Structure 1
């Protein structure tokens, strides 16, 4: 996010900073650290300056934008209840000298096109040197000139408009006079940050029209051992096995890539660095079994189980039991058919 406090006129008034809004989707395999990347980016941003929402298959446009709902207080009346989109846009409008962020987790777990609805067109922003004065009260067209960072297009929504104005007939936002006739646009001080799992378990796919309105950034699935927390995660022992999480992670991801080679979902099936988290430098055997082994059995090697798991392990129950309570003269990782390869990889991770 760029900010220029030089006082340059940006259409909001000469005394206001010049913001360049960000619209970006961080994508990658489950557990690679997408949400953490946003959390670190916004860790010094006050809570009032950000709104976080999670998309899911049942999430609707009415919930995202807002809807008329009954309110009981000595009787029943109906009021507009704003959704997260409307809440953050109002804060941004009323505080044009501050930066605001709408964070959308799992943007493709819901039907993003349907959830955004007609506000989808607001994602196109005016570029440097572009201006627009359409969609306003004609009497104010000379004043209400939208410049870089504002939405290029606009939508009419009386409920959102009234919510932004509150009890006032009109409000002044820098050089913008916002009244009942003013259309809704995204302001330049509002950014949208989103996360997206590339795994094929996601319910909806973002079409090209949606994706091209966002910058895309791959969050790489790798250990940055210069970071203390990541170093601890890599070296966390998987219970009492003597095998570190980072070692197993490297071995199993190499096996996933080799075993599923040629399938379109190969990369998405890999385990993320933070697929499971350590507690005090240890990854509990039950957590490992119920999350990692279950994922490998149900999703990754669903059609390759005989190639991967030891003879006699023909159900998930046997797999988990064999790991949590290995029989006499057996070790936990004997659940894998080629445990020897794992041991060799641990001894020489560059294999």
Structure 2
């Protein structure tokens, strides 16, 4: 370890590892969280070289310098350590480690494996060259035994064993890299320029499972300077009004870490917070441990990265039983809004005003099951709710008052003009005209329709592709399509006719998108109990008839299922 360490070295090797091992990233491991690297190029004495008589390497000596090298990152910044003196000459600590299944498979040029294998590594520190004239100098060794065997069995001389340290993580990740990748020679330790000494120190409780004062391990992250962007916002409006668009363009800034999930009737507290699941270790032994859900995972990331902004987006929040899904976490939605002059708790504005006790969450987020759980001030929770879906699950007042409610207005003022002015197939009627006129009818018949305002068409109810017209379909009413289908059924169709029939059907798939999405919604939902307001119900009694007339007509006549005053409104606005 005679090479001087610089931030540039760390950044360079992280860049290489991210490129070569991009496939190992998942919800529990991100290369951006790494603050320390120990890169070891294996020598004969370090590897399981089968050509040697003594093929079972038992340890790798990391450092034995009698004097520190200027600029060198200390091993104390990577591995936990205890002070040594002539009375305390040697110690050994067993630490949690894990190997990536995909990385192990890749060393054999295989793929398809996922997940992690839990294991241990032993760290030994002892005094070397002790004499009556010298107290000796400390040496750090990784004592293998059978540790990391799935990776070690794959590696050859000159290959690399890479130990990774993440910020505040008590578990190390270990990867194997072939010698074709240039990670330098020897054994070298690199630390991120973003890492403070605190970020790599372990508490005694993490090493011995003994309890200690919570603030000893986490005080600096609890009360450190932290981004204060955290809010709870609930966006509501009619389907397609632009709630998700608003989140993307107004709340998700460049550099924000965003996680998105969707509530549904079967979504539970266990899915959201986490649950105890079986885990199989490298020896095939089954144990049970808490597996965090998306809320706990993003809570951990936000807590450990105080200067970065995190956003949890919950789409369709009222389609699940939100109070039951949140459980006791519901209490955390109350946010601190001011710093008190007297008896302030020291937390930044935006942090949960009240904490809760949850050992499973606390153990994941803080590494201490006794720590009080709070949402940090750099984590926002943004939900969306379709007002027309309020009958799925009702959000009670106690739940709603903990959110900043924001109605997303349903108009075309800020809608992309290419969508607003797009013609609906070949009808000559734009999407804005159609949507506006239908919504005017819905609101104008409020007395005859339940929750009429919530039944309106949203400006983003459709996409551009839903409005496009494929003229390969031709005029279905001219008999060509029906004649080709009859030939197909009788087995007399030619290859040329098959090609034409295929082209018509492909075009029909495109041209059916609008009626199947919009007109079906108007028939089945918006005007379900009073279709006569807008539809010619004396002529068309079923959705099948309505869709058929749209497909078999041309131009403005595709809307002949609507009453004459509705069709005239479409034409009048366009003129």
Coarse TM-score class (shorter-chain normalised): 0.7 to 0.9
SS of 2:235's equivalent in the other structure is strand
- The Cα offsets for residues 285-328 of structure 1, whole Å up to 9 and x where unpaired, read as 3111111111111111111123322232101111111111139x
- The Cα offsets for residues 186-209 of structure 1, whole Å up to 9 and x where unpaired, read as 111111111111114651111111
Q: Which aligned pairs between 1:203-214 and structure 2 lie closer than 5 A?
A: 203-214=392-403
Q: Which aligned pairs between 1:1-351 and structure 2 lie closer than 5 A?
A: 12-13=223-224, 16-17=225-226, 19-46=228-255, 49-73=257-281, 74-130=284-340, 145-166=346-367, 179-200=368-389, 202-224=391-413, 230-261=416-447, 263-279=449-465, 282=468, 284-310=510-536, 311-326=538-553, 331-338=557-564, 340-348=565-573
TM-score (normalizing by structure 1): 0.81
- The Cα offsets for residues 158-199 of structure 1, whole Å up to 9 and x where unpaired, read as 111111235xxxxxxxxxxxx442110111111111111111
Q: Distance in 1 between matches of 2:328 and 2:526?
A: 38
Gaps of 5+ in 1: 1-8, 134-141, 167-178
Distance of aligned partners of 1:35 and 1:132 in 2 relative to their CA distance in 1, 3 Å threshold: farther
Give the C-alpha shift of residue 93 in structure 1.
0.8
Contact between 1:130 and 1:147, CA under 8 Å: does it hold in 2? no
Q: Distance in 2 between matches of 1:127 and 1:89?
A: 20
Q: Distance in 2 between matches of 1:12 and 1:132?
A: 17
SS of 1:324's equivalent in the other structure is helix
Q: Rg bigger for which structure?
A: 2
Residue in 1 that maps onto 2:180 = none
- Greater Cα offset, 116-125 or 35-44: 35-44
Distance of aligned partners of 1:125 and 1:42 in 2 relative to their CA distance in 1, 3 Å threshold: closer
SS of 1:317's equivalent in the other structure is helix
Contact between 1:52 and 1:104, CA under 8 Å: does it hold in 2? yes
Give the C-alpha shift of residue 346 in structure 1.
3.5
TM-score (normalizing by structure 2): 0.51
Contact between 1:224 and 1:231, CA under 8 Å: does it hold in 2? no
Q: Distance in 1 between matches of 2:234 and 2:466?
A: 32
Contact between 1:126 and 1:150, CA under 8 Å: does it hold in 2? yes
Contact between 2:429 and 2:570, CA under 8 Å: does it hold in 1? no
Gaps of 5+ in 2: 1-219, 470-509
Runs of 4+ in 1 over 6 A off after TM superposition: none
Distance of aligned partners of 1:270 and 1:349 in 2 relative to their CA distance in 1, 3 Å threshold: farther
SS of 2:546's equivalent in the other structure is helix
- The Cα offsets for residues 64-115 of structure 1, whole Å up to 9 and x where unpaired, read as 0010111234232222111111011101110111111111111111111000
- The Cα offsets for residues 199-237 of structure 1, whole Å up to 9 and x where unpaired, read as 146511111111111111111111125x6xx10111111
Q: Distance in 2 between matches of 1:346 and 1:254?
A: 15
SS of 1:184's equivalent in the other structure is coil
SS of 2:447's equivalent in the other structure is coil
Distance of aligned partners of 1:17 and 1:68 in 2 relative to their CA distance in 1, 3 Å threshold: closer
Distance of aligned partners of 1:200 and 1:263 in 2 relative to their CA distance in 1, 3 Å threshold: farther
Distance of aligned partners of 1:288 and 1:335 in 2 relative to their CA distance in 1, 3 Å threshold: same
SS of 1:69's equivalent in the other structure is strand
Q: Distance in 1 between matches of 2:389 and 2:259?
A: 27
